[in-house]
Structure formats: C-alpha cells, structure tokens
C-alpha cells in the first residue's frame, strides 16, 4: 500500500469511526429520549427514520470503520505477522480492532434484527386503536428492548430496541 493510499484509508477510518461513535452518542442521549417522550407519535417518527435508512447508514459506517481498520492492521503488521502483532502497539491495535468487530457484530446481529421487529410493531401500533391488541404489541416491543439490554449497555446503540 503506497503512502497516499495509506493516508486515505487512515483518514477514512478515523472519520468513519468518529461518525459511528458520534451517531450512537447523539441517538442514545438526544434522539431516543425525545422519541420516547413523544409517546405514540414517537413510534411514527421512528418509522420514518427507519424508512429514511438509519439502519443502512449505521451498517455502512460500521462496515467502513471495520474494513479500513483491518487494512490498517494488515499494513502495520506486515500481512498479519504474529511477531509484530505481539508487540505492545500490535496488541493495542488488535484489542481496539477486536472491540470494533464485536461492536459491529452486536449492532448488526442482535440489535439490528430486534430493531426491525420493533419498527414493524411500531407500524402496527400506529394503525390500532387502544385496546388489548395494542397493549400486546407494546408488551412485545418491551420484551425485544429487554432482550437487547446488555448489548445496548456495551454498544450504546442508536437502535430503537435500546430505548
């Protein structure tokens, strides 16, 4: 990898990581509490956000961060050389990379699927009048949120499943 490509990949990695983390922080501390406080209309807002592609956006940013990080680690270690990876710097980069890959796997695998279910439930709730059916759907959404509880604490996800 030549110097120019290395700098481009490095800049892409840092930028994507900052956007990924910033998006999670904004969603966790600003957006989701506001949506929760909005009550039933918050579900409609969340449906519109999902239709505009928040899941694809978060997936794309996470994927760019992870892939560019793997490329940088490959370059740093000279093709994943175990002797270089065992150095202090190699261990630090490896630990950070492992944390990023785990956050991406948790965000995509666990939270992503549950978020889709919560969004579908929110869509159904928007069309139902108050009653037993609506309460049952609210209970199902709450169960999905509880299922993601541990992942939400570690990943601070912007998913509707976490708030």
The pLDDT value recorded for residue 147 is: 65
Q: What is the mean pLDDT of residues 131-142?
A: 75
Alpha helices in the chain (DSSP H): 3-26, 32-37, 40-51, 54-76, 82-85, 88-105, 112-127, 132-147, 149-155
Q: Is 33 helix (H, G, I), strand (E, B) or coil?
A: helix
Contact 141, 162 (CB under 8 A): no
Domain ranges of the chain: 3-162
The pLDDT value recorded for residue 151 is: 45
Buried b (16+ CB within 10 A) or exposed e, 123-156: bebeeeeeeeeeeebeebbeebbebbeebbeebb
For the whole model, what pTM was predicted?
Answer: 0.75
| 75-98 confidence digits (pLDDT tens) | 999 999 999 999 999 999 999 999
């Amino acid at each position: 990898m030549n110097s120019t490509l290395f700098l481009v990949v490095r800049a892409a990695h840092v930028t994507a990581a900052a956007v990924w983390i910033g998006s999670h922080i904004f969603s966790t501390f600003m957006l989701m509490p506001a949506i929760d406080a909005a009550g039933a209309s918050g579900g409609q807002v969340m449906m519109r956000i999902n239709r505009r592609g928040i899941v694809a956006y978060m997936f794309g940013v996470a994927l760019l961060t992870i892939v560019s990080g793997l490329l940088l680690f490959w370059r740093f270690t000279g093709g994943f050389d175990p002797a270089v990876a065992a150095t202090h710097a190699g261990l630090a980069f490896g630990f950070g990379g492992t944390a990023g890959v785990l956050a991406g796997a948790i965000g995509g695998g666990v939270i992503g699927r549950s978020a889709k279910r919560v969004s579908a439930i929110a869509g159904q709730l928007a069309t139902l009048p108050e009653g037993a059916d609506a309460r049952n759907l609210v209970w199902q959404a709450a169960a999905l949120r509880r299922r993601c509880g541990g992942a939400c604490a570690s990943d601070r996800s912007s998913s509707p499943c976490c708030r």
